[in-house]
Every structure is written in C-alpha cells, then in structure tokens.
Amino acid sequence: MDLGIWSIFITSFLVGFSGASSPGPMLTMVLAQSSIKGWFESVKIVTGHAILEGILVILLLLGLQPFLQNQVFLKSFSFFGSIFLFYMGIGLLISLFKNEIHVKNASPLKFPSVLGGILVSISNPYWLIWWITIGVSFLTQARNYLILGVLSFYFGHILSDYVWYAFIGLIGQGLSLPFWKRIYKVILYIASIFLIFFGGYFMRYVFLG
C-alpha cells in the first residue's frame, strides 16, 4: 500500500482520537448506557455515529458542502438533536427518581442504541461544522488516492471513535459493579444533568447562533 495512504490513515486516526476524547454528549451517553446495559452499548452507539459519518462523507464527495453549510439546515439539524438530548437526560433522571434502574436490561433509551448514536451526533452542530471545514480538507487530500484514500481516511477516523468509546464503555460497566455501588447513581445523576445541559447549550445555538 502507498505510504501516502498509510499517512492519511494514521493522521485521520490521531486527529479523530483527539476529537473523540473531548467531553460531549456522546461521551455522556456512552458512559450512562454502558453502566446500565454493559460496555457493548458503546459499540452500538458508535456504530450509529459511524453510519451517519459515512453518509456525510458521501454527501461531501458529491459536492453538497454548500447545502450542509446553510444556517437553516445547521439549525434544524441541531434543533432535533437537542430535543433528543432533553429526552435522554430527562428520561434518565425520571428513571433514577423512580428507582427503576437496577438491572442490566433497564434502560431509559427506548429505541435501538445505534439510532441513539445517530441522534446524539445530530444534536451537536459543532460536529457538522468540523466535517464541513476540517473534514473537507482531509477529504480533498484523500481524494488524490481515489477510493483507497477516502476509505483510509474514513476508517482511520471511525477507528479512533471505536477505540476511545470502547474504553469509556468499560469504565461505564465498571461503575455498576458492587464496589462502586455508592457512587453509581451519583454518576448517572451527573450524566443526566449533563445531557440536559448539552441539549440546552445546542438549543441556544438554534435560537441565538
């Protein structure tokens, strides 16, 4: 394989890893869901995220960057995602107040985790802004190597997400062990508050820019 393709893959992984490890709604969701249902929830959530990013890469390659940069689109994108974060945060908070979270199959997320990964990505307008600025720059370089370059960029990027969030998922599952029982619900209360906070923060972007 061409050294340039390996360079694209490694650079994409490292840049993606720095972004994945930043605190945000996805990290909060993975931590909360993994502590309730096990670490593999992280893989399902990131798979939803990866599917959405794959679609976005295709749209950017088709030249739809101007449409994706449209403020109406960006704010609509963020609005529906913010509603999802409110739903997640309030749902988790209600479950905690009702003392309903006891076992691995009890979860405030009432639909597939893969869909949750898509929705939590949609909630963050800065995720989309990253793609139509930095992501486009990467894609421009990757296209020089045709399909292999684009695939190297994409798989390097999503691999960083899987590595980081699998690690977060293991931490989340560890929190549900008896040893951590005393702080387990405290962590979930904090996670629910952060989800609501991020929902409000991104909703602020919708109305105030």
Tens of pLDDT along 55-84? 999 988 888 777 766 777 777 777 877 887
Mean pLDDT of 83-90: 82
Distance in angstroms (rounded) separating the CA atoms of residues 47 and 25 = 16
pLDDT higher than 70, residue 108: no
Residue 123 corresponds to which amino acid? S
| Residue 204 phi, psi dihedral angles, 5° rounding | -60, -40
H-type alpha helices, 21-70 = 25-37, 40-61, 65-68
Percent of the chain surpassing pLDDT 70: 86
Say what the pLDDT of residue 105 is: 44
CB neighbour burial string for 27-46, b if at least 16 within 10 angstroms, e if fewer: bbbbbbbbbbbbbebbbbbb
How many domains, in total, are found in the chain?
1
User: Among candidates 127, 134, 108, which has minimal Cα distance to 49?
Assistant: 127
3-class secondary structure, 86: helix
Range of the domain at 20: 3-208
- HSE on the CB side for 175, CA within 13 Å? 24
pLDDT higher than 90, residue 110: no
Give the global pTM. 0.78
Q: Note the pLDDT tens digit of each residue in 164-181.
A: 999 989 888 887 676 666
pLDDT higher than 60, residue 2: no
Q: Which of 70-74, 99-103, 130-134, 151-155 has the lowest mean pLDDT?
A: 99-103
Most confidently predicted of 163-172, 188-197, 198-207: 163-172
3-class secondary structure, 62: coil
User: Among candidates 189, 2, 1, which has minimal Cα distance to 97?
Assistant: 189
